[in-house]
Chain A
Amino acid sequence: NAGVTQTPKFRVLKTGQSMTLLCAQDMNHEYMYWYRQDPGMGLRLIHYSVGEGTTAKGEVPDGYNVSRLKKQNFLLGLESAAPSQTSVYFCASSYGRLRLRDEQFFGPGTRLTVL
């Protein structure tokens, strides 16, 4: 099993460009998450999903959109990238309702630079 995978691993954007980050998991997890990791701030939750077709805002959702059309995939979109969105983005998943407050499994991260 690959676990949680993220595409791409690195990306450089110019201000105003758009892009989509793809997260996929093969563990049949119900819940999925997108975080950003910034120095001195730890990981902050952007958006999350508790099931196919559902999404919800996290702590820092502005400037991002998400979609969960299939259970195994969770997409993070930047419609108009800004330098403040330069960060490392992590996707995670967890079992969900069957194992509440259980551990989250993380992807390898995507390093995004916005010039």
Chain B
Amino acid sequence: AQRVTQPEKLLSVFKGAPVELKCNYSYSGSPELFWYVQYSRQRLQLLLRHISRESIKGFTADLNKGETSFHLKKPFAQEEDSAMYYCALSGVSGGNKLVFGAGTILRVKS
């Protein structure tokens, strides 16, 4: 079974502090992992995916197959990073289906 776990419902940090949003997954095959973000009054959108190995808006995420994790990190949080973040997994079954975690609200305080 495919499962994505985001253990924190809310993460509150001060501006300039490092951020780490945790994501663990359960999947027996070779997964594709994503981070989606939903800013206030905006639609859900892709932030980054592990296969791209990019840094988007200062965020990075490394797939650790040994620990089955895909944590999202940013060295210095900004107020505009405040949003809901979802970790998602795509397996090899048909339909490009995504399994989402419960989401983590990131609040960056000034």
Residues of A near any B CB (own CB < 8 A):
4, 31, 33, 35, 40-45, 48, 50, 56, 58-59, 90, 92, 94, 96, 100-104, 106-109
Contact = CB atoms under 8 A, between A and B. Distances in A.
A45 to B, nearest CB: 6
Interface stretch (B42-50, B66-74, B75-83): B42-50
B97 A45 contact: yes
6 contacts: A4-B43, A42-B4, A42-B102, A100-B96, A101-B96, A103-B49
B95 A42 contact: no
Contacts of A45: 97-99
Contacts of B45: 106
A94 B96 contact: yes
Contacts of B6: 42
Contacts of B103: 42
A44 B44 contact: no
> Interface residues of B toward A: which range?
20 to 34
Interface of B: 4, 6, 9, 32, 34, 43-46, 49, 86, 90, 92, 94-103
Contact of A44 (B94, B95, B100): B100
A4 B6 CA distance: 27
A106 B38 CA distance: 10
Given A43-B98, A96-B96, 13 more contacts: A35-B100, A41-B102, A42-B101, A43-B86, A43-B100, A44-B100, A45-B99, A48-B97, A59-B99, A101-B92, A103-B34, A106-B44, A107-B43
A65 to B, nearest CB: 18
A96 to B, nearest CB: 7
Given A90-B44, A109-B43, A104 B86 contact: no
A35 B67 CA distance: 29
A106 B46 CA distance: 9
A48 B34 CA distance: 19
Contacts of A48: 95, 97
